[in-house]
Amino acid sequence: MRSYTDLPRATRLTVLFVVALFALSAVVLLIFRVARSGALPGTTVVGVDVGGMDGEELRRALREVQEARGGDELEVSPSGDDALGAGSAGTQGSVTTSGTDMGYRIDVVSTAGNVLERGRQGNPFAALADHLVSTFGTITEEPIDSFDEEEFRSWLERNDGELSTQPFPGGVEFEGSNVTPRYPEAGLVLDESELESKALGATRAPGEDTITVATEEAEPPTTDADVDELVESAEDLVSGPVTLTRPNGILTISPGEIGAATRVVVIEEDNDTRLDLRVGATALQRSLGDRVAQLETEPQDATFQLSGSSVNVVPSVEGFEFAPRTSARQVLKVASRRNRTGKLKGNTVEADFTTKDAKALKITEQVSSFTTLHSCCEPRVTNIHVIADMVDGVVIEPGESFSLNDFVGPRTTANGFVGAPAISDGEFVEEVGGGISQFATTFFNAIYFGGYDFLEYQAHSYYISRYPMGREATISSPAPDLAFLNDSDAGIYVDTSYTDTSITVTFYGNVNGEIESATGAPYNFTRPKRECRTNPDLKKGEEVVVQTGYEGFDIEVTRIFPSGDEEEFFTRYQNGPTIVERRKC
């Protein structure tokens, strides 16, 4: 084999020149690549200079190109004699839109990748050529673009009525019990492939543009025979009234109401298309108006019925609610029967407090009961009866707390309370709701002997002889309150009853033994003070006793549980002043 030195001088010079040229090209290419970052200088996309851009700056520029291209106005219309009636805008049978509206998108990531690839190809000659062109001229890169398939399809659906007329599958029209056939008709629809191609080309071209798209006749999927068969079904449907019954009434739907609510639907199954009738739920409800409300019933909660010292559950009753969709389907079904009569179906409305809920509370027997006495026929008795009626029948679930103030609310005349004597700062005053502390005391003792946990209570400041010492409570708004926790595993049913001279509160639940109570002797007595008030109307030396004073004292009461545990209740009663009036104190 001949060595390099054996070659003719001219050949050696040629080889040396080629090698030097390659080396120089490599050096130049390396210099270009090091010196130039981002898109090569002079690179344009749709006339926009993106030279030197990289990363987000380049992608932002491409999005602006997309916005500019897609924003140009584009008018679309069917071609020639196929044009339809007046369109939504512009010329007859046309739609004015834009590429953006039709879903025009530039693949920003892929296009940016192509731009940045220029001058960086694996082929060094192609890369060097790009660098040289960018140095002395312009590199043009076309964007990768298309219509977003979902948005383009949505645009077609929105504008279908302007550019196409879909084939009419046929149907029927109702007027009372009369049925009129409407036979199938062919339609004209746009060539969607041509539309997409022309719209994309027009969007790529700068400025406004108009495109015309060919249409083709579309045959209906049904025949006249299908409509004739549908007419027979429609005539049967409105051949007479439909009667739907409930225990509390009858709903009669006339042929006219049935027809007004009926529509034709096209059903496609296994490459077969057929016509059918459906009664529309909304249309049926509109036709029936308020008549359905007379057949609806409210659910009734389960309650408790007392029998001596035991408790029975009175079952809940489900309510009934008219269900338009169910009834619409039922009308079609019942209309096919010979007697055209059926039981009205609807939604069952469950009670808020069901039989199951009531039984789960395990309220089976009397837990505690307490009665206090009072004089007859005083205004305070009215208030005692009002609050007793409010609380009667209350159910307190296991783990639930009960506040008398929260449950009863403000004592106002609007709520049935009247003015009656009450104690304020040791004196008797008149206030609306006065006297209800007697109910609070009775309620307190039902809690006490039921063995439940007191959350809040306050005894009277002064001892009142009609109440048991140390086992009584007062109540006012917003405080003091009487509240307790049902800390048992069974619910509590509260029963209140009264006579003209007594009030009784009874708790029913699940007995866990009997509560006992021990009351100690009063101690730490304090004598009443004497207060004098001036009354100039009295004679000299005359004295009138306005209020007789009473002693204060301390007392302790012990609640004894079946387990042997004890709970102490300490009460300190203040002394009440003797109040007298004299002409001069």
pLDDT tens digits, 266-289: 999 888 899 999 999 999 999 998
Contact assessment for residue 40 and residue 139, using Cβ atoms and an 8 Å cutoff: yes
Label residue 21 by pLDDT band (50, 70, 90): very low
User: Where are the alpha helices (H) located in 118-174, listed in sequence order?
Assistant: 124-136, 149-163
pLDDT for the residue 9: 60
Strand partners for 571? 555
Cα 549 to Cα 425, 429, 430, 578, distances in angstroms: 13, 16, 19, 4
Q: What is the mean pLDDT of residues 107-118?
A: 86
- Answer positive or negative: Cα dihedral of 522, 526, 527, 530: negative
Of all residues in the chain, what percent carry a pLDDT higher than 70?
89
pLDDT for the residue 309: 81
For residue 105, pLDDT over 50 is answered with yes
Q: What is the mean pLDDT of residues 197-222?
A: 90
From the list 242, 230, 352, 221, the residue with the least C-alpha distance to 288 is 242
More confident site: 427 or 303: 303
pLDDT for the residue 61: 87
Q: What is the mean pLDDT of residues 64-84?
A: 81
Strand partners for 146? 105
As given in the structure block, the two tokens for residue 291 are 């008549």
Name 100's Cβ contacts closer than 8 Å, sequence gap at least 6.
67, 70, 71
Label residue 406 by pLDDT band (50, 70, 90): very high
CA distance 265 to 287: 20
Indicate the SS3 state at residue 411.
coil
| H helix or E strand, kind and range, residue 13 | helix 9-35
| H helix or E strand, kind and range, residue 7 | none
- At 134, the amino acid letter reads S
Burial class (CB in 10 A: 0-12, 13-18, 19+), 466: exposed
Of the given ranges (91-95, 269-273, 503-507), which has the lowest mean pLDDT?
91-95
Domain ranges of the chain: 1-32, 36-163+186-217, 224-357, 361-582
The DSSP-derived string for 512-563 is: -S--EEEEPPPEEEEPPPEEEEE-TTSPTT-EEEEE--B-EEEEEEEEE-TT
CA distance 484 to 113: 74
Mean pLDDT of the chain: 87
As given in the structure block, the two tokens for residue 72 are 């140009």
Name 510's Cβ contacts closer than 8 Å, sequence gap at least 6.
362, 363, 364, 365, 367, 488, 489, 490
CA distance 156 to 301: 55
Model confidence pLDDT, tens digit, residues 324-381: 999 999 999 999 999 999 999 999 999 999 999 999 999 999 999 999 999 898 888 9
How many CB atoms sit inside 10 A of residue 393's CB? 12
CA distance 134 to 141: 12
Report yes or no on whether pTM surpasses 0.95.
no
Residue appearing with tokens 């220029």: 118
As given in the structure block, the two tokens for residue 464 are 């009142």
Contact assessment for residue 165 and residue 74, using Cβ atoms and an 8 Å cutoff: no
pLDDT for the residue 323: 95
Fold classification of 224-357 is Ubiquitin-like (UB roll) (3.10.20)
For residue 16, pLDDT over 60 is answered with no
CA distance 471 to 515: 14
| H helix or E strand, kind and range, residue 507 | strand 502-509
What DSSP designation does 381 have? H
Label residue 435 by pLDDT band (50, 70, 90): confident
For residue 303, pLDDT over 60 is answered with yes
pLDDT for the residue 541: 81
For residue 560, pLDDT over 60 is answered with yes
Rg, C-alpha atoms of the chain: 48
CA distance 44 to 62: 10
Model confidence pLDDT, tens digit, residues 32-54: 444 455 788 888 888 888 888 88
Q: What is the mean pLDDT of residues 434-443?
A: 92
